[in-house]
Amino acid sequence: MKKKVIAYNRVEKPVLEALQKKYDTRFFKNIDTKNDSDFLDHLSETEGIIGLELVVDHDLLKRAPHLKIVSNVSVGYNNLDIEQLSKRNILATNTPDVLTDTVADTVFSLLIAAARRIPELDQFVKNGDWITEAIEPEHFGVDVHHKTLGIIGMGRIGQAIAQRAHFGFDMDILYHSRTRKPDVEKKFDATYFGLDELLRTSDFICLITPLTPETTGLIGKREFQLMKNSAIFINGSRGKTIVEQDLIDALKSSELAAAGLDVFEKEPVDSDNPLLGMKNVVTTPHIGSSTHETELKMSELAAENLEAGLNGKRPPNLINPTVWTEK
């Protein structure tokens, strides 16, 4: 009898088809996981879960007595209750590394787009305004090159952003993280700052931390007030790492010049969110890793993690290694 697997929300087609050949794999997308009878029936016998954004908590785990592994198609895993998974000796995995450069590209594109007002001026041309109105100083953006970039979170993605900024745009790199990284300081001529000092000093601020209890609401009213009025804030982490209303207030009061956001407190973002009506805010729908090449690589790595766990082998990207024992 084939092992049962649940695929949820996002597994690239070639990978999903390969899993369906090997396992009794059912794909579900954006369902009510607490009440969908097909999902719950399959969950009661499933040994593996692969996918994106499925909340795996105590309630779900009570309904999955045979579960061996949960494989996130994401580098983030705030949807997983690691404590509950570990208590049940269930393996949890993610997909780091393969998306590093793609997410860094996204974050840096938001930075450039906000600085040079690309979306706003794109609409200026498309609306026909350029025909009757010349470009005036009020349409000008600001330079990116030779400015100071503050990076909050100097993991793999933070380092990839620093690489683009330092070598591509001759920017001065400041960073703040849980620990100092001498190799990063040497490679990018970067300087470690305390958070407050980084906020006061930087022309551009990129937030790229994982969402944890410590980073939830990390940037709020006080932090936005510390930033230069000319600063541009970029969030490529998770929406709840900032207090979104405080960002809105800072932009409305001109305490902050502009923002670029790939993530929001609530996703999908509500259509009446004030951020969507602000010309100085560049928005994207959480597309950090969303290229054809990278999404396929992430699905392939997630499937590799899944199959290892299903077959008694150590997955290559194990989040909770304390549950692993050699078979």
- Let me know if 139 is a catalytic residue: no
308 and 27 Cβ atoms separated by less than 8 Å:
no
Cα–Cα distance for residue pair 128/110, rounded to 1 Å: 24
* Alpha helix ranges (H) inside the chain: 13-22, 37-43, 58-62, 82-87, 100-116, 118-126, 129-132, 156-163, 169, 182-188, 195-201, 221-226, 244-252, 292-310
The amino acid present at 29, given as its one-letter code, is K
Cα–Cα distance for residue pair 91/317, rounded to 1 Å: 10
Tokens 């600001």 sit on residue = 142
Assign 171 to helix, strand or coil: coil
DSSP 206-265: EE-----TTTTT-B-HHHHHHS-TT-EEEE-S-GGGB-HHHHHHHHHTTSS-EEEES--S
- Let me know if 286 is a catalytic residue: yes
- Let me know if 267 is a catalytic residue: yes
Count of CB atoms situated within 10 Å of the CB of 95? 27
Q: Which residue among the candidates 176, 238, 300, 307 is catalytic per the annotation?
A: 238
CA distances from 54 to 9, 30, 32 (A): 8, 9, 10
Q: Which residue among the candidates 12, 42, 286, 300 is catalytic per the annotation?
A: 286
Cα–Cα distance for residue pair 29/51, rounded to 1 Å: 10
Q: Name the residues annotated as catalytic.
A: 238, 267, 286
